[in-house]
Each structure stands twice: as structure tokens, then as C-alpha cells.
Chain A
Amino acid sequence: NAGVTQTPKFRILKIGQSMTLQCAQDMNHNYMYWYRQDPGMGLKLIYYSVGAGITDKGEVPNGYNVSRSTTEDFPLRLELAAPSQTSVYFCASSSPRVTGNTEAFFGQGTRLTVV
């Protein structure tokens, strides 16, 4: 199993450019998440999805969009990049069971710099 795979690992964007951060998981998890982590801080939830076709906003959704057309993929789109979006982005997945909570699996992150 590859787990959660994020691409690219690094990217530099100019202000106003757009890009899509890719995230794929091969564990058949129904729940997927996007977080951002600013230097020295904890992770903040951007968007999440509880299954294909269902997405919802997290704590810091402004400036981002997501889609979930398949169980495996959960891309994050930045439409007009701003310096405030310079951060490390983590994708995660989990599959909570009816009878109990379960752990989340995280990707290795995408380090994005907007200049």
C-alpha cells in the first residue's frame, strides 16, 4: 500500500497564478481532509469530504476549492495564489467505523511558496 500520496512535493507560484494540489489514497477510505500548516503552528483544516461527491468547509476555506469525484482522489485547487497561502499542505484520510473511532493517515506534504 502506498497510503496517502501527495504531489507535487514542492512548488513556487507567482501571485495570481493557479494550481491544483493532488492527493490520492489507496486504502478505500471514505473520509479525506486537507490541512495547512504555517511555520511553528499546528495544522488547520481547510476542507474535508465524507465520501465521493460530498465536500464541506473546514476552519480556513477562503481561497481554496475542492472536489471529490472518486473515493481515491481529493484535489485542492488554489485559484488566485496570494502570499498568505505560503504554507505546507497536508492531505489525510480515515475510515471511521460505526463501532468506533479510527486513526488518520497523512501524506508527506506539499510545500508551497507564493512570491
Chain B
Amino acid sequence: DAKTTQPNSMESNEEEPVHLPCNHSTISGTDYIHWYRQLPSQGPEYVIHGLTSNVNNRMASLAIAEDRKSSTLILHRATLRDAAVYYCILSRIDNYGQNFVFGPGTRLSVLP
């Protein structure tokens, strides 16, 4: 399975934008880039995913590099509720299912 690399932790001030980076230099053509977040004592929650083009939804934006070897999750205005562990995952569908391989993620702290 292709691996991702993320910083262990990041800090942001409330109401400022946050850019969470992810490197995935061994990504294959069929891998989708997914982002999930996990609030304290909860299950992971889907944030956004994409293949090649940048994606926007109500929670965040996903910027994907042209060579697809890296991506950035953008939270436009961080709130205290956005403090969580953010996971960048490569997911593909094959004969064995749709895999989601979790790394340790980035712990985001939001300062008031």
C-alpha cells in the first residue's frame, strides 16, 4: 500500500486559515487522496477526497499537486472545534476491496 507522510503536529490560531500538508510520493494512478479527522474520543470523520483536481466542500478544500505526489488540506477559518487528528490516506479499489491505510496523522491544535 502506498504510504503518506504528515507532520506529527501543527498549531493554528482561531479564525485563521490552516494548511495541512501530506506527501505521497509513491502514489499510483488509481489512488484517491482521502482526508479524515478524528475528534477526541470519537470515530474518524470524513472530510474530503479527490483524484487529480482540487476539491471544495463545506468543510474544507483539497489542493492536489500537479504530479500528485503531495496534497494540502485547507481549513479556511479554524475554529476550536477543528482541533483533531487529521489523517491523509490513499485509497484504491481492487479485488480485495477499498482499502484505507491510516498513518499516525497530524494533531492540529487551535489556539483561542
Point out residues on A near B: beta carbons under 8 Å.
4, 31, 33, 35, 40-45, 48-50, 56, 90, 92, 94, 96, 100-109
Contact = CB atoms under 8 A, between A and B. Distances in A.
Q: Which of A41, A44, A90, A104 has the most CB of B within 10 A?
A: A104
The 4 closest A-B pairs by CB, nearest first: A106-B43, A42-B102, A101-B32, A103-B46
Interface stretch (B15-23, B64-72, B74-82, B90-98): B90-98
A103 B56 CA distance: 15
Interface of B: 32, 34, 36, 41-46, 49, 51, 87, 91-93, 96-105
A110 to B, nearest CB: 10
A48 B97 contact: yes
A96 B43 contact: no
Nearest to A106: B43
